Structure 1
């Protein structure tokens, strides 16, 4: 059975990224700070002139120590100047619980501040596909990279599906599945009436980013053979689709039987299993 692929060109929604600034200058107490992977990360630690301070991560990793004008900074972090620690571009490794202690000239503890930092991977431009299973049934899927991705699907402004905290809600259609595999790709699939048409919007977001893709649904009634796959593609989406294919290939390889060695006398014969696929070209 021959599958048909249709390609769309889409516009990308840009999301500006500023620096992540975590402020330890507030009164004593727990604090929270969050941002996206790749953003500049800045800690505002103290406004005291020539202070003695100590900054630890997760109660065991020494990040910064300043004592009697001697400054020691963890090599994975940046520079400390005028009470400000600049850590460069944030990674998920920077997430954790930070404890700042500031001491007076007499060596006594003057200030103690806790800061919880959460660095999140931004969502990617979503990839959208429409699969016509019959004239009366289609599946619409949306996939995106990132952490804690939430999906919203609408058709010509009418709400179809929304996921909140991995729990989907909907006004129409049937949800097939929502998954997040080891490659960090989340996806959601919904079954719809095959003769629906209109502009479908897949909106994705998390606590640090958002993006969306708009495609035109085609009526499955106009299709002469099934299944028919329609894919929305941009430069960013191409890499996402390749990642999904790579994950599927890795899973396929892991499920293949391992080579078996047969001993006959002093000789060994190695049996190697290979996977051969034949692709049928579309008729002219």
Structure 2
């Protein structure tokens, strides 16, 4: 089986920048607040002076309680509460949930009750793209990314190959086998294409809080005649490309040396002498 295997990855994804501000002041019914992991999370609870309030999560976890100017609650859940503003620090997935705010008057009467649903989403990582030549006429292209609710778009020289939207799939005309996986917040798609296609393949990933893309150049599987496994990291840049070029030149030189040669024995017949070359590569430590 002829294989070309190329992987583009990014070692570390940066945390999302920005602020998530959930407003409990303007909602007359259930509200929705959303943001990305790593963003600063702030709740605007009340504008009342010296209010009596209770804030619970999922109707069971006490986050904050203020009564008669005394502030109590689970200090591990927030950083500070000042002038009706609650700062919870950097958002994590555990902050997701249903929050209930109850505000009381000085006479103990309930003034308002507000529900806000908070959804914290993990940002997508830079997609890893691989090409595997199964034969001169068939290749598999895979793209994977970490994150929540990842949506994929694959294009070849600007022409749409595949697009996922939530749980649905859209694809261009032609035969494309599609597979998806979702394990530990890692999603991937795989398409099967004609092995002699070339061009710039782009994998674009995104969700409601982030997006990223990777572009690779497809190799013609019909021009590959030996098993070649290459791994390239995006962060390696020019150095990796130079090493890749040297490796390909080395393999080409070895193949030329392995071609059969003829020896003329003087009787008009030629004896074919074969040389055998084995290329091995030690796995990286």
The TM tier, using the shorter chain, reads 0.7 to 0.9
Determine whether 1:138 maps to 2:139.
yes
Q: Contact 1:196–1:217 (CA<8 Å) still a contact in 2?
A: yes
Indicate the residue corresponding to 1:62 in structure 2. Answer: 62
Indicate the residue corresponding to 2:224 in structure 1. Answer: 223
Indicate the residue corresponding to 2:244 in structure 1. Answer: none
Further displaced range: 72-81 or 30-39? 72-81
TM superposition shift of 1:6: 5.1
Indicate the residue corresponding to 2:271 in structure 1. Answer: none
Larger radius of gyration: 2
Indicate the residue corresponding to 1:34 in structure 2. Answer: 34
Give me the whole-angstrom Cα distance separating, in 2, the residues matched to 1:194 and 1:8: 20
Q: Contact 1:160–1:173 (CA<8 Å) still a contact in 2?
A: no
TM superposition shift of 1:235: 4.3
Give me the whole-angstrom Cα distance separating, in 2, the residues matched to 1:149 and 1:118: 15
Cα 1:123–1:131 shift into 2, 3 Å: same
TM superposition shift of 1:13: 10
Give me the whole-angstrom Cα distance separating, in 2, the residues matched to 1:7 and 1:95: 34
SS in 1 for 2:94: helix
Q: Contact 1:41–1:86 (CA<8 Å) still a contact in 2?
A: yes
Indicate the residue corresponding to 1:187 in structure 2. Answer: 188
Give me the whole-angstrom Cα distance separating, in 1, the residues matched to 2:84 and 2:186: 39
SS in 2 for 1:174: coil
Cα 1:75–1:47 shift into 2, 3 Å: same
Give me the whole-angstrom Cα distance separating, in 2, the residues matched to 1:133 and 1:230: 15
Instruction: Render the CA deviation track for 1:215-262: whole Å, top value 9, x for unaligned.
Output: 111111210125x556552249xxxxxxxxxxxxxxxxxxxxxxxxxx
Q: Contact 1:127–1:144 (CA<8 Å) still a contact in 2?
A: yes
Instruction: Render the CA deviation track for 1:10-47: whole Å, top value 9, x for unaligned.
Output: 9x998962011100010421100011111111000011
SS in 1 for 2:77: coil
Instruction: Render the CA deviation track for 1:65-98: whole Å, top value 9, x for unaligned.
Output: 0001001131222211110000001111111100
Give me the whole-angstrom Cα distance separating, in 2, the residues matched to 1:27 and 1:106: 24
TM superposition shift of 1:206: 1.1
Give me the whole-angstrom Cα distance separating, in 2, the residues matched to 1:112 and 1:131: 57
Q: Contact 1:52–1:68 (CA<8 Å) still a contact in 2?
A: yes
Indicate the residue corresponding to 1:281 in structure 2. Answer: 280
Normalising to structure 2: TM-score of the pair? Answer: 0.76
Indicate the residue corresponding to 1:211 in structure 2. Answer: 212
Query: What is the RMSD of the two structures over their aligned residues, measured on CA atoms?
Result: 2.6
**Alignment gaps of 5+ in structure 1:** 237-279
Cα 1:14–1:199 shift into 2, 3 Å: farther
Cα 1:166–1:132 shift into 2, 3 Å: same
Indicate the residue corresponding to 1:48 in structure 2. Answer: 48
Which runs of structure 2 are paired with 1:242-281 in the superposition (5 Å)? 281=280
SS in 2 for 1:221: helix
SS in 1 for 2:125: coil
**Alignment gaps of 5+ in structure 2:** 237-278
Cα 1:75–1:235 shift into 2, 3 Å: farther
Indicate the residue corresponding to 1:265 in structure 2. Answer: none
Q: Contact 1:127–1:231 (CA<8 Å) still a contact in 2?
A: no
Q: How many pairs does the alignment contain?
A: 237
Indicate the residue corresponding to 1:104 in structure 2. Answer: 105
Normalising to structure 1: TM-score of the pair? Answer: 0.76
